[in-house]
Amino acid sequence: MIQNIIDKMNEALGYELRAINMYAHYTANIKGIHRIHLSELFNAEVSESLEHSNIVRTAIVKLGGVCVTERNSDNIVHTENYTVMLEQALETEMMASKVYSELLEMVEKLDDRELYDSLENIYFSELRSVEGMRMLLD
Ligand SMILES: [Fe+2]
């Protein structure tokens, strides 16, 4: 069971590492009037993903696992179109939410409230990002 949880956490970590790259890429590529707001938003997502990755990494080590160092291999779409960026962001956040909800179901069976709470906090922040991106695309 522990190994399955470690594997799922590594899946989440891979997605966080991918999110860091994707949002940093969009921070650099966002142009025009929308740069004012969106470069800040994307940059905040870089920081948040970095924080999440640190929490997940620490949790993997705590459970005796070895952390992945490679990002999830899903393609990062290059674009200068902010709508496409936001669509990619929404998809990324939905994927992260799904992985964390699966992870929470598994971690629930362990008797570790601290671990559960820290992962639940990440899950909620992913859900907020999903809603935030959805609103921006509305
Ligand atoms: Fe995240």
Please give, one letter per residue, the 3-state secondary structure of the chain: CHHHHHHHHHHHHHHHHHHHHHHHHHHHHCCCCCHHHHHHHHHHHHHHHHHHHHHHHHHHHHCCCCCCCCCCCCCCCCCCCHHHHHHHHHHHHHHHHHHHHHHHHHHCCCCCHHHHHHHHHHHHHHHHHHHHHHHHHC
Q: Tell how far the Cα of 127 is from the centroid of ligand 1, in angstroms.
A: 10
Task: Quote the pLDDT of residue 1.
Answer: 86
Q: How far is the CA of 46 from the centre of ligand 1 (A)?
A: 9
**CA 64 / ligand 1 centre spacing (Å):** 22
Compute the distance between CA of residue 72 and CA of residue 113 in angstroms, rounded to an integer. 28
pLDDT in tens, 45-81: 999 999 999 999 999 999 999 999 999 999 999 999 9
Report the separation in Å between the CA atom of 121 and the middle of ligand 1, taken as the mean of its atom positions.
Answer: 10
Q: What is the Å distance from ligand 1's center to 42 Cα?
A: 12
Share of residues in the chain with pLDDT > 70 (%): 100
pTM: 0.96
For residue 26, give its domain range. Answer: 2-137
Ligand 1 mean position, distance from CA 84 (Å): 20
Q: Name the band, by pLDDT with cuts 50, 70 and 90, for residue 29.
A: very high
CATH classification of the domain holding 109: 1.20.1260.10
pLDDT digit string, tens, across residues 118-136: 999 999 999 999 999 999 9
The tally of domains found in the chain comes to 1
